[in-house]
Amino acid sequence: MKRRDFFKYGLGSAGVAVSGGITGRAGEINYVSQASHFQHPWWVKEIEKPKLGIDDRIYSRFEARKNVFGSMAKYYGIDNLRELSRRSEEKTKKYYQEKRPGYRLEDRALADAAWVISRQGGLNRGTRSWTRNFVTTPEERGVDKYKASPSQAAHLIKTAARYFGAATTGVALLDHRHIHSEERGKKIVFEKADEPYENDTKMVIPKKCKYAIAMTVLMPIDNIACSPTAISSAGSSMGYSRCEFLVAGLAEFIRGLGYTAIPSVNDLGSSVAVAVDAGLGELGRTNRLISPEYGPMVRLCKVLTDLPMTVDKPIDFGLMEFCKVCKRCAEACPSGCISYEDEPSFEIKGEWNNPGHKAWFEDSPKCLAYWEESTSGCSNCIAVCPWTKKDKTVIHEIVKAASAKIPALDAFFNSMDKSFGYGRQKSAEKWWKTNHFEYGIDTAQGKG
Amino acid sequence: MKDNNSYWILKIRKRPFYIWLLRFLWIVWLVFWAEAALGSKAELEPRALVISLIIFLVSLLTGLALWLLGIKRFKK
């Protein structure tokens, strides 16, 4: 060891030892001081219950087959669906011939290819397996399982989640009502069991899995800004593929600590509801999560576990008040599926909505029909939201903070946002000429 | 000012407090819009860039004009 290194490390170690001696519980204090890594900006307020309340008499577990993907034929009519599909095929060919930017072969190939990791998993399948894949357990290593205080465990999990690609992470006590009652033709039940399992009739989640880790994954904003084209579709699929890697990695990490982990993306239950409980954002006009850091530019995923952790609280950053006056998503929606109502309500639009919670419910079959009609999917509501920003200038932070604290300014901010040209569709052709970050996202965004 | 080559008279003009405050606010305003323009460029937001740049340039020129006007008035 060089003399300089001796002083550097020697004095450093002595310093740590002294400070440890003074504090007595240095490890715990370090975790507390580093908790700021995962805090929301100062203008975000923690609250006891989510702002858009739940009617406990009505809210219950949702049957996954009722969602729009599972029952589109029923909601839209099988003949209408066939006709839609025929039109979509015709349009696709026409767009190819025209070499229309955003709908060319290379654009579509990119959109399909970005699903590559997401396609490796499904409910208790592949990367989303409910049991361990390859990780060595503490038992196999001949050591005790991971033991720490709940706050240390929460910090550990949030750090690991960030490492695997989470933009933000929150922990909530699992509300069983957020979990589907059935999926893939099988009942999903909570039972006293050591490990999750699946047989011919049911899928069993151990009752000991009391915690839900909710995570956001940032989507590439330059892609989504090209909506509705295959380039924006590639943005969504990239988000899903990164979710897949994240939940698979985090679940294996938790199993490696000696605990149970059930990874999930859009399957198993409502990621939005879990994320709202875990304080990752608020429910917006689109009936989806809007995060204070990234707006709606996120995909959500979750991991259920029995590792005891400190739970986070729901948050309020004035989004509901903002959504009441903004309505940009509803104006930009080509299918007209987003509500224009001033106030959120308990009134659902159809069977595809889970009743019993207050929201601006959407007409999902119209949305999905437009995905087919456009031949490429659509993310207009995400692209135009004033909370969708790259945050490269301080003006966005000032506006967000002011909106959270002074709702009277919301209408003004919204009209300024429009005047400054935010939310306009970007050129898919230019996308190919832009010098993008890895995965199309700036991982430094929203990290303080 | 030289007077009969025997002594100098140095005039120090004391400006009112609000002038200094206005100058400070003007500089903060300019920095704010310059930063917004640079940020908008990085965000690939052309319209936001143009508007920020126009606000910056108009504020800069107006401020300079007022400043020069003040100097001229003082010299009179």
Spell out which chain A residues touch chain B, with contact meaning CB-CB distance below 8 angstroms.
Answer: 222, 389-390, 392-395, 419-422, 424, 426, 434
Alpha helices, H only, A99-174: 105-113, 138-141, 150-163
Interchain contact, B51 vs A424, CB within 8 Å = no
Residues 6+ apart with CB under 8 A from A390: A221, A442, A445, B42, B43
pLDDT at residue number B75: 73
**Coil, helix or strand for B57?**
helix
Mean pLDDT throughout A429-437?
95
Interval A248-301: pLDDT, tens: 999 999 999 999 999 999 999 999 999 999 999 999 999 999 999 999 999 999
pLDDT at residue number A24: 42
Alpha helices, H only, A143-229: 150-163, 221-224
Place of tokens 């858009």: A52
pLDDT at residue number B76: 67
pLDDT at residue number B73: 79
Residue span of the structural domain in which B25 resides: 2-75
Interval A80-118: pLDDT, tens: 999 999 999 999 999 999 999 999 999 999 999 999 999
pLDDT at residue number B3: 55
Q: Which residues in chain B touch residue A421, judged by CB atoms under 8 angstroms apart?
A: 45-48, 51
Interval A114-172: pLDDT, tens: 999 999 999 999 999 999 989 999 999 999 999 999 999 999 999 999 999 999 999 99
The amino acid occupying position A12 is G
Interval A169-227: pLDDT, tens: 999 999 999 999 999 999 999 999 999 999 999 999 999 999 999 999 999 999 999 99
Identify any residues that bridge with A303 across adjacent strands, giving them in sequence order: A213, A263
Rg of chain B taking only CA atoms, in angstroms: 19
> In terms of CA atoms, which chain A residue is nearest residue B48?
A420
Structural domain boundaries of chain A? 44-440
Number of domains comprising chain B = 1
Residue A382: pLDDT over 90: yes
CA separation (Å) from A106 to A143, A149, A220, B40? 51, 51, 18, 29
Residue A15: pLDDT over 90: no
Q: Which residues in chain B touch residue A420, judged by CB atoms under 8 angstroms apart?
A: 45, 47-48, 51
The whole-angstrom separation of Cα A148 and Cα A309 is 9
**What one-character-per-residue DSSP string does A224-236 give?**
HTT-SSHHHHHHH
Give percent of chain A with pLDDT exceeding 90.
89
pLDDT at residue number B6: 82
- CB distance from B28 to chain A under 8 Å? no
Of the partner residues B32, B35, B45, the one whose CB lies closest to the CB of residue A422:
B45
pLDDT at residue number B14: 78
The whole-angstrom separation of Cα A53 and Cα A55 is 7
pLDDT at residue number A206: 98
> In terms of CA atoms, which chain A residue is nearest residue B52?
A420
Identify any residues that bridge with A173 across adjacent strands, giving them in sequence order: A211
Mean pLDDT throughout A393-397?
95
Mean pLDDT throughout B10-23?
85
Q: What is the 3-state secondary structure (H, E, C) of A112-130?
A: HHCCCCHHHEECCEECCCC
pLDDT at residue number A35: 63
pLDDT at residue number B71: 81
Tell me the pLDDT band of A448, cut-offs 50, 70 and 90. low
